């Protein structure tokens, strides 16, 4: 299937493309399709925002469209930044400033209270208006400092997942590595977005079959 990826975030596009193309799909970015849209994300949940973006780009491209909305939910902050993850600092897409604010707000929080999870909603919208939304989440904790590596984006340097692994099997998360320090295969195997996209792939045949009836 030829799919429009409704994101201008290079890191997120790379993950969507890596996972979806491994499943046999062709992924086209909004830049490759000549689209310059920024739909207003007015939803109160990841699922609502993913659908808003998928619908806007599907209408503009005429192609089946996948949109993801995701973020970090921190227990000590009452679930924040949540749907405001990308603009937590007051500006959209400033990863460094978002990380700085999170570190400042978590400065006095002890290790035992730094639980968090990444959540993702992936919405596939078809030109006819039907949509399929799948969810995924990955539990972990917030680090005391950036644990930067060769991979990742956003809050990845500050998020330590509870486990890591490869598609062949998970193993205990003993090394204390952040999302940004995991290899792409390790991250895709456990990440919130990887889980949501695998569920989408599992449900897609039945979903598309209804489209032909």
- Contact call for residues 122 and 131 (beta carbons, < 8 A): no
- Contact call for residues 13 and 5 (beta carbons, < 8 A): yes
Query: Strand locations in 75-142, DSSP E?
Result: 115-125, 131-142
- CATH number for the domain including 39? 3.90.950.10
Q: What six digits make up the tokens of 135?
A: 């969810």
Torsion (CA) 154, 159, 163, 166 in degrees, nearest 10 = 20
**Count of structural domains within the chain:** 1
Catalytic residue among 68, 69, 95, 156: 69
| Residue 65 clears pLDDT 70, i.e. is over it | yes
- Contact call for residues 156 and 180 (beta carbons, < 8 A): yes
Q: Give helix then strand counts, H and E, for the chain.
A: 5, 8
| The pLDDT value given to residue 104 | 97
Alpha-carbon distance of 143 to 96, in angstroms, equals 15
Q: What residue numbers bound the domain in which 79 lies?
A: 2-212
Helices (H), ranges, 152-191: 184-190
Closest C-alpha to 194, from 69, 16, 67, 48: 16
- Contact call for residues 133 and 50 (beta carbons, < 8 A): yes
Predicted confidence (pLDDT) per residue in 163-195, tens digit: 877 666 666 555 789 999 998 888 888 999 989
Percent of the chain with pLDDT over 90: 66
| The pLDDT value given to residue 201 | 87
Give the residue-averaged pLDDT of 201-206. 88
Q: Would you say the C-alpha torsion 107, 109, 113, 116 has a positive or negative sign?
A: negative
Residue labelled with tokens 């201008």: 8
| Residue 108 clears pLDDT 60, i.e. is over it | yes
Residue labelled with tokens 């890596």: 18
Mean pLDDT across the chain:
91
Helices (H), ranges, the chain: 10-22, 46-61, 95-105, 184-190, 192-212
| Residue 141 clears pLDDT 60, i.e. is over it | yes
- Contact call for residues 163 and 127 (beta carbons, < 8 A): no
Predicted confidence (pLDDT) per residue in 32-58, tens digit: 999 988 898 999 999 999 999 999 999
Q: Is 188 a catalytic residue?
A: no
| The pLDDT value given to residue 211 | 66
Alpha-carbon distance of 212 to 59, in angstroms, equals 20
| The pLDDT value given to residue 62 | 96
198: left (phi over 0), alpha (psi -120 to 50) or beta: alpha
């Amino acid at each position: 299937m030829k799919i429009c990826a409704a994101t201008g975030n290079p890191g997120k596009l790379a993950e969507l493309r890596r996972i979806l193309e491994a499943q046999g799909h062709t992924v086209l970015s909004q830049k490759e399709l000549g689209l310059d849209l920024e739909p207003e994300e007015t939803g109160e949940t990841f699922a609502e925002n993913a659908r808003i973006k998928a619908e806007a780009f599907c209408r503009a491209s005429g192609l089946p469209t996948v949109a993801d909305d995701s973020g970090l939910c921190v227990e000590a902050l009452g679930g924040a930044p949540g749907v405001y993850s990308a603009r937590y600092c007051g500006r959209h897409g400033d990863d460094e400033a978002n990380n700085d604010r999170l570190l400042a707000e978590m400065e006095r929080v002890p290790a035992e209270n730094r639980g968090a999870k990444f959540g993702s909603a992936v919405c596939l919208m078809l030109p006819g208006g039907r949509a399929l939304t799948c969810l995924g989440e990955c539990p972990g904790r917030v680090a005391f400092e950036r644990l930067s590596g060769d991979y990742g984006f956003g809050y990845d340097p500050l998020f330590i997942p509870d486990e890591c692994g490869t598609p062949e099997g998970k193993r205990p998360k003993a090394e204390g590595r952040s999302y940004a320090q995991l290899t792409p295969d390790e991250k895709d195997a456990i990440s919130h977005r990887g889980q949501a996209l695998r569920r989408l792939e599992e449900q897609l045949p039945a979903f598309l079959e209804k489209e032909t009836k």
